[in-house]
Homo-oligomer: A and B are copies of this chain.
Amino acid sequence: MKTIKISIIGFGAVGQGVARSLLSKQEYLKKQGYDIRVVGISDSKGSEINTKGIDLEDALNRKKQKGTVAIDTSDALELIRNVKHDIVVEVTPTNIGNGEPGLGNIRAALHAGRHVVTSNKGPLALRFTELKEAAEDNGLHLRYEATVGGAVPIFNLVHEALAGNSIIGIEGILNGTCNYILTRMEEERMPYELVLKEAQELGIAETDPTYDVEGIDSAIKLVIIANSIFGQNATYGDVDVTGITKITPEALELANKNNYVVKLVCEVRESRLTVAPRLVPKRHPLAVGGTLNVASILTDLAGRITISGKGAGSIETASSILSDILYIARNS
């Protein structure tokens, strides 16, 4: 039995999803030879630390009742630096302005000699090369499957399952909110504003939907793909972005008549990063509906490999985080 000690930094929907998954998977993981213990959890009000392993059910209940997991006042950085553990699971909210607090947390973790698993897009979109090099220089793993595509394991697929292939390009639909809105507009012939309102009522779109519908979220994910898979040193400014707010039901109907759908497609090729609405043939592997995410990977040997699945959700995101934790458990 290999014991892996981890911390969970950030205890919102994703952090709680990780705790819940670990709780439900304890026996399963032990059968596979891994005893994964959470020795610290941190949220904005403080931390719980237990070097023998936190009672996760208790922590989840406390968070629910008191709004915080904190039972002492140590902050995230103190937990990361001072408590001995193997992996920092950094799942604080994405901040695309300066990447904080995630950026500082990841830097501290790598500096303290701890592997990092994160769902936080900010630090990776802003400082990919710096963080990747810091990890490599210290012989540490930095893994971020959950940053792009939710449950869809794009990075693991490319780096491991398609190892040996050169990647020529990637096209994807990486924002479930936009995909939902376009799918509903097409199916119901409803205008953008009405469908957006419906999506907001269902919790699929935020009150301020700008980040999703203007293509910003998609562009950030594309930057992480470009840097991770194509070894670029891109930032948000390098992406040519058009959102979905100008699309009319008439345009969708015309597309439909010609056996096309309109999708907000992200594309990366050697030297070009684009997010824009595009016509996709209905039978094309990219033409997935609803809130699904999809990535189509063009390779030299395998040809086009397309993978789709749920792009959001706390348990779905936890799935990607768990596979990263297990990768590190197997390879460290």
A-to-B contact residues, CB < 8 Å: 21, 25, 28-29, 145, 151-153, 156-157, 160-166, 282-283, 285, 287-289, 292, 299, 301-310, 313, 315-316, 318-320, 322-323, 325-327
Counting every copy of the chain, the complex holds 2
- Does A161 lie within 8 Å of B156, measured CB to CB? yes
Contact A305 B152 (CB under 8 A): yes
Residue of B with least CB distance to A158? B161
Contact B302 A309 (CB under 8 A): yes
* Known contacts A301-B318, A309-B305; is-contact A323 B152 (Cβ 8 Å): no
Indicate which residue in B157, B162, B318 contacts A319 across the interface (CB closer than 8 Å): B162
Residues of chain B within 8 A of A162, CB atoms compared: 153, 319, 323
CA gap between A242 and B156 in the complex, in Å? 35
Residue from B302, B322, B325 within 8 A of A301 (CB atoms): B322
Residue contact A322 to B153, C-beta cutoff 8 Å:
no
Closest residue to A17 on the B side, CB-wise?
B301
CB distance from A14 to the nearest CB of B (A): 13
CA distance A195 to B110 in the complex (A): 59
Contacts A151-B303, A306-B307 known; A160 to B163 CB distance under 8 Å?
no
Q: A153-B305, A164-B325, A282-B282 given; name 18 further pairs at CB < 8 Å.
A: A21-B164, A28-B166, A153-B157, A153-B302, A156-B160, A157-B161, A160-B161, A161-B323, A162-B319, A285-B292, A299-B319, A301-B322, A302-B310, A302-B316, A303-B310, A305-B309, A306-B309, A307-B308
Expressed in whole angstroms, the Cα–Cα distance for A302 and B318 within the complex equals: 8
Q: In the complex, are the beta carbons of A322 and B285 less than 8 A apart?
A: no
- Chain B residues contacting A327 (CB-CB under 8 Å) are 160, 163
Residues of B contacting A164 with CB < 8 Å?
Answer: 21, 25, 29, 319, 322-323, 325-326
In the assembled complex, how far is the CB of residue A154 from the closest CB belonging to chain B, in whole angstroms?
9
What CA separation (Å) do A307 and B158 show in the bound complex?
13
- Residues on B with beta carbons closer than 8 Å to the beta carbon of A21: 164, 301
Residues of B within 8 A of A152 (CB): 302, 305
User: Which are the 8 A-B pairs with shortest beta-carbon distances?
Assistant: A164-B322, A156-B161, A301-B319, A153-B161, A151-B302, A302-B319, A305-B309, A163-B326
Q: Could you list some 20 contacts between A and B, CB below 8 A?
A: A21-B164, A25-B164, A151-B305, A152-B302, A160-B160, A160-B327, A162-B319, A163-B327, A164-B325, A165-B319, A165-B323, A283-B289, A285-B308, A302-B309, A302-B320, A303-B309, A303-B310, A303-B313, A303-B316, A306-B308
| A302→B17 CA distance, assembly (Å) | 12
- In contact, B151 and A301 (Cβ under 8 angstroms): yes
Which B-chain residue is minimally distant from A154 (CB atoms)? B161
Residues from chain B with Cβ under 8 Å of A301 in the complex: 21, 151, 315-316, 318-319, 322
> What residues of chain B lie closer than 8 Å to A283, measured between beta carbons?
287-289
Distance in Å from the Cβ of A23 to the closest Cβ of chain B? 12
